[in-house]
Amino acid sequence: MFRSPILILLLILGTAPWQQAHALYGDLPEMGDSTGNLMTQEEERRIGAEFMRNVRQSLTLLDDPEINGYLQDLGRRLASHSDRPGDEFSFFIVQDPRINAFAAPGGYIGINSGLILNTGSESELAAVLAHEIAHVTQRHLARASEAASRMNLPLTAAILAAIILGGQDPDLAQAAITAAVAGGTQRMINFTRSNEKEADRVGIRLLHQAGFDPTAMPSFFRKMLPSDRLYREVLPDFLKTHPVTLERISDSENRAAQLGKRVRTVGNRRYQLMRAKLKVLTSPTPIQAIEQFRSRDGDAARYGYALALSRAGRHREARREIGALLERNPATVAYQLAQARIEANAGRLEPALEIYRRNLRLYPLDATLTIEYGMALLQAGQAAEARRLLHRYLTAREASPRIYRMLAQAEKAAGYPVASFRAMAEYYYLEGLTLEALRQLRHALAVEGISEYDSAAIQARIRQLRQQAALEAESRREKQKPR
């Protein structure tokens, strides 16, 4: 059993009804960590993992390993300079044009694609991540739960998801908010204000220590301020959950000025490339993507143009564009990966495979290379090699739904049906579809000639998932009760 984070609901981003509560900021001290009756970090992580299963059911996440890898590297670079550098973090991108970001227990931090596209520099993007990281490292989420009741894990995570994702399900969000109000509105409002101020202060310090421009935080706030003034009744999500005031801007500017600039620019090029790729992936049509980059002003635009051409099936032109970039910068991994994708999309699999093999020798457990090489191997009919690649990765790295889905495909094509069903079960479980996961495991048990070892392992997993399914059913009944 876990403490319910009812009070957490108001400090996590996505609680639109509380924008007025955020609008005023008292001069409150930095709170730091608490030694009170907090949920443990293991409890936070388990709630966060369950929360992510709700997220995957409710939202469309960006399924691009390269951009996700970039965001993960950026976030971890910031987190490594925090007061708790050993904490685990998982960063992900929601495919949504609105400007928003949010943090959840256990270090899960989501960023909307629209926010990334509306940043003007890597430091501005890092400023948003640093603010969210601060919510986690200062244990705002755990401290918010001190006065809450106890609840089962799926229900806790489901309420979190209802609030954080309230824009997608406003009725469910409002019901959970109503329950929170009954527990004491003013205390929660005050707690939220102080957390936002602390997250700004700690975030600016992280920016500076990680080598980013600390003035990027007030700079991003100033971008938001005109919208806050002009569209008070219809605010962007970011402004609802991060109300921008002149006092907040002034406070962050003063703190940034005291720290001074200490900026490394080596990563900004990668930011520009990944931002260009994100534009291509989120464009409604390939033609619109091409039009965005037709002028090709700068390497990032030319890279985006090459990707857009490939998306439109114009592989010869795409190959020419990426080839020109590689002539000037042959060691840029993003260009090499783009070249491999272009070749694979054009049906030229052997050149693509060679590019992946060459880079994997340098970065043997890189998630982006593993996923893209695995996809190319499956496309080339080399399922046994894809299977070996994915098993090697899983011995050292945490699995994602994408990895399990690919593994299921490789196991099936290589002649291992039991393993294929088991991998698909884990894929569905991570996607929040517990009943479908159970169905896959029952299919595995029905395979003729299944070993005793596999049968015992599958039956043990079925028992675990049945318990999970029962808890999820209980959480659904709780949510359906009249408030």
132 is catalytic: yes
* Contacts of residue 187, Cβ cutoff 8 Å, sequence gap at least 6: 7
Residue type, 469: A
- Please give the model's pTM, rounded to 2 decimal places: 0.82
Residue among 132, 198, 299, 366 flagged as catalytic: 132
* 146 phi/psi in degrees, rounded to 5: -60, -40
CA gap 270, 334 in Å, rounded: 8
200 is catalytic: yes
- Please spell the DSSP secondary structure of 69-89, one letter per residue: HHHHHHHHHHHTTSS-TT---
Beta strand pairing call for 101-104 and 90-94: unpaired
pLDDT band at 244 (very low <50, low <70, confident <90, very high): low
* Mean model confidence pLDDT for the chain: 81
CA gap 424, 428 in Å, rounded: 6
Task: Please determine, for residue 239, whether its predicted confidence score (pLDDT) is greater than 60.
Answer: no
Task: Please determine, for residue 173, whether its predicted confidence score (pLDDT) is greater than 80.
Answer: no
* 109 phi/psi in degrees, rounded to 5: -130, 125
Strand 101-104's sheet: what is its strand order? 90-94, 108-112, 101-104
Residue type, 410: A
CA gap 341, 308 in Å, rounded: 12
Closest CA to 140 of 175, 102, 178: 102
CB 405 within 8 A of CB 424: yes
Tokens of 70: 């970039």
Beta strand pairing call for 150-151 and 108-112: unpaired
> pLDDT tens for residues 184-200?
334 444 446 677 888 88
H helices, E strands: number in the chain: 24, 5
Task: Please determine, for residue 445, whether its predicted confidence score (pLDDT) is greater than 80.
Answer: yes
Mean pLDDT (whole number) for 309-317: 96
pLDDT band at 168 (very low <50, low <70, confident <90, very high): very low
DSSP one-letter code for 90: E
Task: Please determine, for residue 81, whether its predicted confidence score (pLDDT) is greater than 80.
Answer: yes
* Contacts of residue 46, Cβ cutoff 8 Å, sequence gap at least 6: 2, 106, 153
Helix (H) or strand (E) holding 49: helix 41-58
* pLDDT given for residue 197 in this prediction: 83
Task: Please determine, for residue 305, whether its predicted confidence score (pLDDT) is greater than 90.
Answer: yes
CA gap 456, 461 in Å, rounded: 9
**402 against 145, higher pLDDT:** 402
Biggest alpha carbon–alpha carbon distance for the chain:
70
CA gap 424, 403 in Å, rounded: 10
Mean pLDDT (whole number) for 306-316: 96
* 93 phi/psi in degrees, rounded to 5: -115, 130
Task: Please determine, for residue 291, whether its predicted confidence score (pLDDT) is greater than 60.
Answer: yes
pLDDT band at 164 (very low <50, low <70, confident <90, very high): low
Mean pLDDT (whole number) for 132-149: 69
* Contacts of residue 420, Cβ cutoff 8 Å, sequence gap at least 6: 408, 409, 411, 412
> pLDDT tens for residues 251-271?
777 877 888 665 554 458 999
Phi-psi region at 149: left, alpha or beta (left = phi > 0; alpha = psi -120 to 50): beta
Residue among 96, 122, 196, 200 flagged as catalytic: 200
> pLDDT tens for residues 354-364?
999 999 999 99
Q: Out of 54-58, 225-229, 346-350, 388-392, pick the least confident.
A: 225-229
Chain length of the chain: 483
